[in-house]
Each structure stands twice: as C-alpha cells, then as structure tokens.
Amino acid sequence: MFMIEGSQEIPEFSPPATPHLPSTAGRKFRDYLALTKPEINALILLSTFSGGLLAFAGEDFSWLKLAYAVVGTALVASGAGAANQGLEKHFDSQMRRTMRRPVAGDRISPANAVAFGGLLALSGAAWLYFTVNPFTTMLALFALGTYLFVYTPLKRRTVLCVAVGAVAGAIPPVIGWAACGGALNAQAGLLFALLFLWQFPHFMAIAWICRDDYQRAGYRVIPTTAIRDRFIAVCTIVPTLALLALTLTPILVRREFFLLPVAFILGLAFLFFGIRLLAFKSDSAARELLSASIYYLPLAFALLIFVESYGAAAH
C-alpha cells in the first residue's frame, strides 16, 4: 500500500528455502509472500511504528494498540501490494524491474492475486476496526483506495500521479498516531508532511533509473519531453529543502538547540545527493540518492522521536 514505488536497490523478496514443504508448495508460498512486497512494507511499518511512538506523550498511549495498528497496517499494505500486481500484470510484464514478479511471470493468475490482496486488505481493515478504532480503519481504507484506484490508473495519464501517490504513502505514520494519540493535531500533520515530501526525491531516483522501463510500459510518471530534467529538479530539490525546514521546526519549538547540527547534517546530506543527480544525470547518482533516501527516513523519524521524548522528559 501506500508508498509510490518500491526501491530498485532493495531486491525482490526471496525468502530462504523451506525444506519441510514440497518444492512446488514452497515455490508457491514464496510467490504469494512476494506478492505482499515485504521490502516496501518494511518502510511502511517503520512509519506506522514511528507515528505511534511520537504520540507517546499522550496519557492514553498503549503499546498494545500500537502493535495492533502495525499488524493491521501490514495486512492492508500487503493486500494493496498483491492487488496492485494483479491489476498491473500487463504493464509489469513489459518492465525489466518487474517482469519476474509472480503475476507478471505467469506463476500466479491476476484474479488470484486480486482475490488474495482483497482478502488481506479486508482482514486488515477489520482488524484495525475491532482492535484499534474506526478512524484508523478509515485512514487505511482511504490510503488503499487512493493507491489502487486513483494513483495506479493515473500513472498512465499524468505526472500528477506522483503527488497523488505521495498522499496515500503519507498515511501510515498518521495511522500509528491515531492508534496511540487520538485526535489529529499539528504533530500528526508534521508526520504526514515528512513522508509526503520524502517520497518525491525517493521516487525521482527510481524514475531516473527506470526511465526506459516506464516509457516502454506507457507510464507517464516523469515527462519524456525537454522539461524532464526541470521536472526532476523541482521534485527533488524543493522537497529536500522543505524536509530540512520540517525537521528543524520541532527542534526550534522545543528549544533543543543542541540538536540543530544533527538536523542540518541529515538534511544537507540528503540535499547533496539530490544535487548530485541533477549535476551528473547518471544511474549511479540516482542509486546514491535512492540509498540516501532509504537511510534518511528512519534517521529523520529517530530524530523527531528523540526531540519529543527528550523535550517531554526535560519539561
């Protein structure tokens, strides 16, 4: 669910052999597991967990509720990943990056993938409803619907799909917050903004690496005209600058000025790799930006959690 695309640098999931299962059953199990896109879900669950931790200051915080939220989000996200592959078979089969996926590779039928994904997503929504609260269920279903039925078809129509996908991708930390903190507030909005902005440079790196694949499959995720470089520049530099300002904000509000150098180093390092992509316009620079984005996200969440927990303890 939710995040615009998976990482080119994170390999397709390949779990260890299962010697206690017949080889055919073992392969089928691995294929269905791969449908859930575990490599993407790792970032989604990290975001959900971080959102819950940032609600820690609330008196009603519950580790159990946070665990329930992570499980429910994992189920809905896994369902979205499986259904997406069922719906996108024709396009996945035309891209080198995705042509070996279970549905694109004709190892699982599109109908079975969609049915499996629907079952997982509905189970996750029901789990959130009965173990957490109805609001988290609404958030998860909104992200699911936006990802599958708005972002996915828009990929073949307009570059605006990137912004739409980023909205769906920014929901997981809000789910964690809503599970543990109740009503949404400015801090929840900061979490949403962090993940929304982060997806742009992350995806621009992937889009550059896979530009030929996307064009061959008919995806309009970046322009194929002369404005392509400017589009990538805006979608990389503006969000990374905004992320720097975003991470500085809670530090300044809390007056934890000793953390300013940490936030500056983190933000400027991310910006540096974005500038490298624009300067060199190479696959290697794009891979460096992609790797930087994967390191940046957990570090940014860790910084925000430390700011809030240290500030709460100090005051």
What DSSP letter does each residue of 143-201 carry, written as one string? HHHHIIIIIHHHTTT-TTHHHHHHHHHT-HHHHHHHHHH-S--HHHHHHHHHHHHHHHH
Q: Are 83 and 148 in contact (CB under 8 A)?
A: yes
Question: Domain-by-domain residue ranges, the chain?
Answer: 23-310
The alpha carbon of residue 294 and the mean position of all alpha carbons in its chain are separated, in whole angstroms, by: 10
- Amino acid making up residue 256: E
Average pLDDT in the 59-80 region?
A: 90
- Range with top average pLDDT, 13-17, 179-183, 251-255: 251-255
- Banded pLDDT at 142 (limits 50, 70, 90): very high
Mean pLDDT to the nearest integer, 264-269: 97
Q: Give the pLDDT mean for 53-62.
A: 70
Tell me yes or no: is domain 23-310 CATH 1.10.600.10.
yes
At residue 210, what are phi and psi to the nearest 5 degrees? -105, 20
State the average pLDDT over residues 12-26: 55
**What's the pLDDT at 150?**
96
Got the DSSP string for 189-245? Answer: HHHHHHHHHHHHHHHHHHHHHTHHHHHHHT--SS-SSTTHHHHHHHHHHHHHHHHHH
CA distance 163 to 239: 12
Evaluate if residue 17 carries a pLDDT over 60. no
Identify the pLDDT of residue 60.
60
Local confidence band at 225 (pLDDT 50, 70, 90 cut-offs): confident
pLDDT at 62: 80
- Distance of alpha carbon 179 from alpha carbon 171, whole angstroms: 12
**Residues 91-117: what's their mean pLDDT?**
93
